[in-house]
């Protein structure tokens, strides 16, 4: 059941196509707006004082470059857009004054953009860049220029980590004592799905350094990782994987202590290489699911990463690896489930087994798709609503592009490490009509059973996002915020420190008003998705991926 708080034609209604045709979004895919010095935003409504802190956002900015030869270089895939970072400072002005919001932003790839301007080509392996029509013209020009290697030459900007363990000077003590200075922010790193980190100045957002997972541990030299590391909400310890491609592909699951900065490799095992954007943790385990985005490493040579991802084969199971993160037992169990694809996991936890209460089950929630078709919808030709190719693509959109919130159960973990292949089951799968993505929860419930999930919707009313939803895992009911021509980004939950319920807090989302051609920071009441306030940006904030909110007091919200 869905309750709509602002009306828009349903995606499957007779008016849906006309509604989509009048949903302009082109500016969100090639924004020209940048504010290197913080400016104050006009606020309408009210943003609660407890939301005070810093909200960072990152993702693609520019997607086109005018070359020296007078041609226009077009980025093909949304994931390759030249990254830009944004900073919203939410300031509590006291009881008698309204909350203020300051905004600044910075393009993070100036050196790479300059290389493209001179050569008409990308310098590095891309995610989905199609054959460059300028390549034959610029072959000689490319050979005369050295590909950029500095921080602003690397296109890293999918997720953000504040004070990342292992790459930041650590202090002993409880997590709350490790946060000092303005909002406790000492360092800021951008991450992506390959083995690389970009260090940004946390105030100016200027790219100032590069690192890799090998900076954490010398054995972490593999090419791929998850953009979404997972962090323990109590200790701040960070967990991720490293995938080394080769004749035998090797996964290394590791953890980084937030108190000491030491990195420990928890398990090493061979496995099918795959594009894994995220993973999960429970109180005692790291849960790495190798879903069906398998990679052919031989296809990476001279091609885009998309070319190396194999079509989903429904006959091949997804494989779930359970790794002990506390007691040194390594890989303790392996499960299989029917094939699926996923970008974003939601949360997982342990509970007494339904089969045998003396044993433990792992329950895992994630956003699930049947196959890889959604990846093709993210080419700019299919996203920019003013292009004829986007209209053609929209006309043939089908269920293959839709996602669900799905709950898996990994039953009866073995009491000691086992090589047996066990079976994971699907408990329920729902919300296909809303097609959720970019899920978030109250981050204090990571590794615990949660009730509410917040996400954007891809209902088909627009080429990208077309609403924000709240899903109740207990009642299976959903509530929707949607507004014609307004495209929201990831909705980040900020808890009310005086709240008594899981959903007592606000959602912060950066929204493009396609009709007005400007963006705004939206604040919704997380309990019922009623609008509380907006902070109006004097330009367009590009459609981004992810962000992190760092409260004035306390620990950050979201993945580290």
Q: Is 145 annotated as a binding residue?
A: no
CB atoms within 10 A of CB 348: 27
277 is in an annotated binding site: yes
Closest CA to 195 of 156, 160, 232, 164: 156
H/E element, 332: strand 331-337
Q: Is 344 annotated as a binding residue?
A: yes
Quick one: CA dihedral 148, 151, 153, 159, positive or negative?
A: positive
Structure tokens at 246: 């080769």
| 137-160 CB burial, b ≥16 within 10 A, e <16 | ebeebbeeeeebeebbbbbbbbbb
450 is in an annotated binding site: no
Q: Are strands 436-440 and 83-91 parallel, antiparallel or unpaired?
A: unpaired
Task: Supply 148's token pair.
Answer: 């950029």
Task: Identify the burial level of 448 via C-beta atoms within 10 angstroms of its C-beta, where 0-12 means exposed, 13-18 middle and 19 or more buried.
Answer: middle
User: What is the token pair recorded at 270?
Assistant: 């061979």
Q: To which H or E segment does residue 266 belong? A: strand 263-270
Sign of the dihedral through C-alpha 28, 31, 36, 37: negative
Instruction: State phi, psi for 387 to the nearest 5 degrees.
Output: -85, 140
Three-class DSSP category at 347: strand
Question: Any idea of the CA torsion for 277, 283, 284, 287, to the nearest 10 degrees?
Answer: -20
What separation in angstroms does the CA of 52 have from each of 47, 511, 523, 549, 556? 9, 19, 12, 9, 12
Q: What is the rounded distance in angstroms from the CA atom of residue 272 to the CA atom of residue 319?
A: 9
Cα separations (Å) of 354 from 82, 327, 357? 48, 24, 6
Q: Decide if 105 contacts 86 (C-beta within 8 A).
A: yes
Measured in degrees and rounded to the nearest 5, phi and psi for residue 314 equal -65, -15
- For 428, other C-beta atoms within 10 Å of its C-beta total 12
CB burial of 395-426 (b: ≥16 within 10 Å; e: otherwise) equals eebeeebbbbbbbbbbbbbeeeeeeeebebee
Fill in the DSSP letter of residue 463. Answer: S
DSSP string over 41-53: PEEEE---GGG-E
Task: DSSP letter for 187, please.
Answer: -
CA 325 – CA 261 distance, rounded (Å):
16
Name the binding residues for Fe cation.
228, 277, 344, 546
Name the binding residues.
228, 277, 344, 546
């Amino acid at each position: 059941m869905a309750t709509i708080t602002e009306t828009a034609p349903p995606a499957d209604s007779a008016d849906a196509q006309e509604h989509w045709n009048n949903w302009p979004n082109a500016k969100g895919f090639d924004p020209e707006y940048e504010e290197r010095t913080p400016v104050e935003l006009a606020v309408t409504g009210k943003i609660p004082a407890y939301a005070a802190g810093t909200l960072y956002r990152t993702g693609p900015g520019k997607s086109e470059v005018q070359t020296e030869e007078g041609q226009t270089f077009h980025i093909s895939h949304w994931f390759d857009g030249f990254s830009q970072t944004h900073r919203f400072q939410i300031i509590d002005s006291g009881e008698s004054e309204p909350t203020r919001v300051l905004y600044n932003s910075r393009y993070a790839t100036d050196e790479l953009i300059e290389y493209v301007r001179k050569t008409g080509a990308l310098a590095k392996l891309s995610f989905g860049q199609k054959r460059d029509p300028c390549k034959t013209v610029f072959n000689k020009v490319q050979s005369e220029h050295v590909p950029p290697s500095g921080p602003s030459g690397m296109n890293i900007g999918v997720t953000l980590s504040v004070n990342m363990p292992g790459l930041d000077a650590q202090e002993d003590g409880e997590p709350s004592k490790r946060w000092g200075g303005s909002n406790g922010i000492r360092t800021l790193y951008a991450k992506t799905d390959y083995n690389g980190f970009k260090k940004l100045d946390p105030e100016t957002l200027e790219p100032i350094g590069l690192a890799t997972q090998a900076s954490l541990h010398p054995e972490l030299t593999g090419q791929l990782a998850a953009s979404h590391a997972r962090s323990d909400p109590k200790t701040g310890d960070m967990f991720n994987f490293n995938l080394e491609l080769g004749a035998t592909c090797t996964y290394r699951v590791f953890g980084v202590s937030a108190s000491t900065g030491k990195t420990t490799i928890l398990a090493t095992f061979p496995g099918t290489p795959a594009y894994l954007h995220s993973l999960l943790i429970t109180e005692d385990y790291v849960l790495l699911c190798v879903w069906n985005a398998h990679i052919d490493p031989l296809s990476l040579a001279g091609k885009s990463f998309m070319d190396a991802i194999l079509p989903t084969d429904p006959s091949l199971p997804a494989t779930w690896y359970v790794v002990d993160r506390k007691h040194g037992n390594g890989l303790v169990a392996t499960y299989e489930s029917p094939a699926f694809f996923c970008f974003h996991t939601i949360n997982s936890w342990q509970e007494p087994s339904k089969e045998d209460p003396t044993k433990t089950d792992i329950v895992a929630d994630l956003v699930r798709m049947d196959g890889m078709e959604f990846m093709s919808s993210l080419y700019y030709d299919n996203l920019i609503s003013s292009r004829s190719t986007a209209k053609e693509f929209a006309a043939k959109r089908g269920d293959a592009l839709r996602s669900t919130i799905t709950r898996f159960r990994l039953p009866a973990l073995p009491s000691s490490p086992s090589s047996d292949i066990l079976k994971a089951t699907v408990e329920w799968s729902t919300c296909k009509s809303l097609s959720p993505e970019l899920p978030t929860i109250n981050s204090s419930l990571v590794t615990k059973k949660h009730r509410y999930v917040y996400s954007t919707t891809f209902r088909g009313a627009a080429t990208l996002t077309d609403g924000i939803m709240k899903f109740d895992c207990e009642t299976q009911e959903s509530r929707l915020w949607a507004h014609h021509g307004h495209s929201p980004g990831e909705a980040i939950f900020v808890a009310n420190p005086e709240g008594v319920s899981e959903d007592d807090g606000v959602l912060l989302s950066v929204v493009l008003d396609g009709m007005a051609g400007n963006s705004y920071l939206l604040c919704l009441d997380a309990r019922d998705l009623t609008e509380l306030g907006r902070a109006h940006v004097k330009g367009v904030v590009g459609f981004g991926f992810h962000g992190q909110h760092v409260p004035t007091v306390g620990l950050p919200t979201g993945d580290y």
